[in-house]
Structure 1
Amino acid sequence: MKVTWTALAEHQAAEAFAYIQADRPTAAVRWLDQLLAGVATLAEFPDGGRAIPEVGRPELRELIVRPYRVMYRRDPKHVFILSIRHGRRMFEEHTLES
């Protein structure tokens, strides 16, 4: 299965990395490694993440890479990484449409 990152998700991942790196460079590299490894597993196991509790749509799922939520949409042939959000941030479902 193909995994595709949206421009928004790429931007958010870069911002998260920079934020962590400002105070803890080693932790930032470790987080990025965990993020990329977790996303890579979705190619083989697209249902590996859980359904997003606030949304209630089975095609929208999330993978937790603490303290961030990797929100993605899956279809039969693709996984689309939609958003990388800190677990404490609120979000609106319409921001996941890409």
Structure 2
Amino acid sequence: MNVVWTTEALRMLDEIEQFIAQDNPQRASDFIDRLLEKGDAIASFPEMGRVVPEIAQSGIREILVGTYRIVYKETPDHMVILTVFEGHRSLRYEELDP
């Protein structure tokens, strides 16, 4: 099963990288690589993440990477990364495009 990153998720990765790069461009690049690797690992272990507490739907899960949350869902054909965001804020269902 392959992983598909939504436009929103890719946009958020770009924002995260730009934010971190203000202080340390190399660290920003390394962290984005780490997020991408963790996201791609979901294909092998789809249930490794927990159900997103704010959403409480079994089909929408998340994994934590540092202080960031990668939110995803499984479809019959692939895993879809819906968004990536800083974990100290709550996620609203309206922010997803499941």
Both proteins in one fold, TM over 0.5 = yes
**Gaps in structure 1 of 5+ consecutive residues:** none
Helix, strand or coil at the partner of 2:85: strand
Q: Letter of the 2:81 partner, please give it.
A: I
- CA deviation profile, 1:36-77 (whole Å, cap 9, x unmatched): 110111111111211111111011001111121111111233
The alpha-carbon deviation at position 21 of structure 1 amounts to 0.9
List, as ranges, runs of 4+ consecutive aligned residues in structure 1 with deviation greater than 4 Å: none
Helix, strand or coil at the partner of 2:22: helix
1:4 maps to 2:7? no
8 A Cα contact 1:3 1:43, kept in partner:
yes
8 A Cα contact 1:31 1:65, kept in partner:
no
- CA deviation profile, 1:6-31 (whole Å, cap 9, x unmatched): 11110011100110111122321221
**Gaps in structure 2 of 5+ consecutive residues:** none
- Alignment correspondent of 1:82: 82
Higher mean C-alpha deviation, range 20-29 or range 3-12: 20-29
Number of residue equivalences: 98
Q: Which has the higher helix share?
A: 1
Aligned residue runs from structure 1 range 1-98, under 5 A: 1-98=1-98
The alpha-carbon deviation at position 89 of structure 1 amounts to 2.2
Distance in 2 (alpha carbons) for counterparts of 1:54 and 1:89: 11
8 A Cα contact 2:54 2:91, kept in partner:
no
Higher mean C-alpha deviation, range 86-95 or range 61-70: 86-95
TM-score by length of 2: 0.90
